[in-house]
Amino acid sequence: MARRKAEGIPLGASESATESPKKTTGTNSRASAKKPTESPQRATQKTQKKVFSFRAPADLADSWRVWADAKGLKVDELGEKAISEYIRRHKLTEDQQQIYNLKMAQKGAKS
């Protein structure tokens, strides 16, 4: 408060409003660096959020990690393939398919 009185700054004014703006020198090297162009497929993959999580006993989860590593995959890739294969092999009943379609339509409407 003493500084405010000495510099003539009103008590209600913020100090940032009275300070001079900081000058920037040059440009941000990260911002100005040219980014490599990406393929349209890669750009689409980046925009799609990936979520994979499951609960399993630790030894089973470790087994998945080791198996994925042996196959040259990431655990995320293995999970994605496993889910796709499971859905393909375990067809829904007609009633289940109607529920699925309804929920997916609702999910699409929210996006």
Percent helix, percent strand, percent coil in the chain, to nearest 5: 60, 0, 40
Distance, C-alpha 28 to centroid of its chain: 25
Q: Which two tokens stand for residue 16?
A: 């940032």
Regarding pTM above 0.85, the answer is no
Token pair 């001079």: residue: 20
Residue partners of 97: CB distance under 8 A and separation at least 6? none
Nearest 10 degrees: CA dihedral of 58, 61, 63, 68? Answer: -160
In tens, the pLDDT along 30-87 reads: 555 555 565 555 555 567 776 667 788 889 889 989 999 999 999 888 888 989 999 9
Q: Which two tokens stand for residue 111?
A: 């996006």
Of the ranges 5-9, 51-55, 93-97, the best mean pLDDT one: 93-97
Nearest to 82 by CA among 67, 97, 96: 67
pLDDT of residue 54: 72
Query: What is the residue-wise DSSP string for 27-81?
Result: --HHHHSPPPP--HHHHHHHHS---------HHHHHHHHHHHHHHT--HHHHHHH
Where do the structural domains in the chain lie, given as residue ranges?
A: 57-111
